[in-house]
Amino acid sequence: MTLERRLMAEWLGTFSLLATVIGSGIMAERLADGNVAIALLGNTIPTGAILVVLITIFGPISGAHFNPAVTLCFAIRREIEMRDAGLYVAVQIFGGIIGVLAAHLMFEHPLIDPSTTSRSGVGQWTGEFVATFGLVGTILACIKARPTAVPMAVGLYITAAYWFTSSTSFANPAVTIARGFSDTFAGISPTDVAAFIGIQLIAAVLATLFFGWLLAETNDG
């Protein structure tokens, strides 16, 4: 597959993911009548569902990363060239931001509206570490055991992680950056973005190393 097509798949996939995350968050909050649990459920289900769809259709084209942490993982494993990895990350971030703007347009929300939602502190950072570590592990383990299960496994993992992590599982630097542009249910204050990204990247590296060891073919019985 040509690099141009792979990059377009990454752009469109990340665009669609963020349009879903932000759009479903706005819709859920409007319909939940102040019930945060219902709003979170209304945000969770579409996000998990769209991941299954996007990974299924774009996986054969680009690998369906949609996530700089995942791209970093495959760069460490030397399954993508560093130049291509850098381009993947660039289009993921750009696609995510445009996806947020598209959601704002759909719901007649101010186009540029930086978030005021604080997501900071040890609890939030621990949640992001757990979410990202688990996501990378899920991907690597599924590729090893049953590659065709990756779309469903990732969608289900993120659906679960929305609820069992304190941070509601961003687990994605491109998503984190883009959500900083949206003062809606799924937003994050721009001042908290850097810490989230740092934790996500550390978790991705450690998960890549750990699961590389765990899943390695060995002859030690």
Structural domains in the chain, CATH included, are: 3-214 (1.20.1080.10)
CA 212 to chain centroid, in Å, comes to 21
Q: Write the CA distances from 186 to 26, 38, 117, 161, integer angstroms.
A: 8, 14, 9, 15
Element (H, E) at 105: helix 82-106
> With 90 as the cut, is the pLDDT of residue 100 above it?
yes
pLDDT at 150: 98
pLDDT at 66: 98
pLDDT of residue 84: 98
What's the pLDDT score for residue 218? 61
Residue 221 pLDDT greater than 70, yes or no: no
Pairwise CA distance, residues 153 & 145, whole Å? 12
Q: Which residue has the higher pLDDT, 37 or 219?
A: 37
- The contacts of residue 108 (CB under 8 Å, 6+ apart) are none
**Residue 219 has what pLDDT?**
56
Say if residue 220's pLDDT is above 80.
no
Using CA atoms of 4, 73, 124, 138 in order, give the dihedral in degrees to the nearest 10: 100
Residues 179 and 152: their CA atoms lie apart, in Å, by 24
pLDDT 10s digits, 113-143: 999 999 999 999 999 999 999 999 999 999 9
Tell me the whole-structure pTM to 2 decimals: 0.96
Which pLDDT tens digit goes with each residue over 133-192? 999 999 999 999 999 999 999 999 999 999 999 999 999 999 999 999 999 999 999 999
Average pLDDT, the chain: 97
For residue 178, which of 197, 159, 161 has the smallest C-alpha distance? Answer: 197
